[in-house]
Amino acid sequence: MVATFKIAVLGAQGVGKSAIVRQFLYNEFSEVCVPTTARRVYLPAVVMNGHVHDLQIMDFPPITAFPVNTLQEWADVCCRGLRSVHAYILVYDICCFDSFEYIKTIRQQILETRVIGTSETPIIIVGNKRDLQRGRVIPRWNVSNLVKKTWKCGYIEGWAKYNWHILLLFSELLKSVGCARCKHVHTTIRFQGALRRNRCTIM
């Protein structure tokens, strides 16, 4: 088991990926949409089921393409660290078809370019803005079936504004990267208690 779980959060502009991260860490949501223009790194220490787990959550701005090698990764300041993470969260807006096509492309590029350990690197697809489902552009069943059965990825729909399924997302992610202590236990409630501001350390 790795000492620090490195997680990359990717998505098109305006899908709410930064809102998901901030809701998870600080239990807060802003109605003002501020575009992510640079990589943001968060280093929380999370208490889950009585054990401390160090996370490195990297919130990336929209990238034109996944870096094909380490040289390209470190040549672009926005992509640094992207190829060496332990898990990917790919976020799309359920009301925006283009945002789904974006993560579809990024996922394929991850599989094609991250040769070492790719098959063991979890990818979770997140459909955000569930409150706006009347404007959904792709039926939920279609997306879920594609992601789970064809892509072999995890799929969760969430609502960053009211913290709906945000904790579930990260608890499932920790399970998927091999956190043995997180298995066979109902983790969501304990996770929520661990993420109060005075128990989540940002270094």
CATH number for the domain that contains residue 28: 3.40.50.300
Residue 87 included in any domain? yes
Residue 42 included in any domain? yes
Number of domains in the chain: 1
The beta strands (E) that lie in 12-148 are given as: 40-42, 44-48, 51-59, 87-93, 123-128
Residue 22 included in any domain? yes
Residue 192 included in any domain? no
46: left (phi over 0), alpha (psi -120 to 50) or beta: beta
Beta carbons of 2 and 54 less than 8 angstroms apart: no
Residue 201 included in any domain? no
Residue 157 included in any domain? yes
Which residue range(s) make up the domain with 124? 5-183
Give the global pTM.
0.83
pLDDT, one tens digit for every residue, the chain (203 residues): 457 889 999 999 999 999 999 889 888 887 777 888 889 999 998 876 677 888 999 999 999 999 999 899 988 888 999 998 999 999 999 999 999 999 999 999 999 887 544 457 899 999 998 878 788 899 999 999 999 999 999 999 988 887 888 888 888 888 777 654 454 444 333 343 334 443 443 33
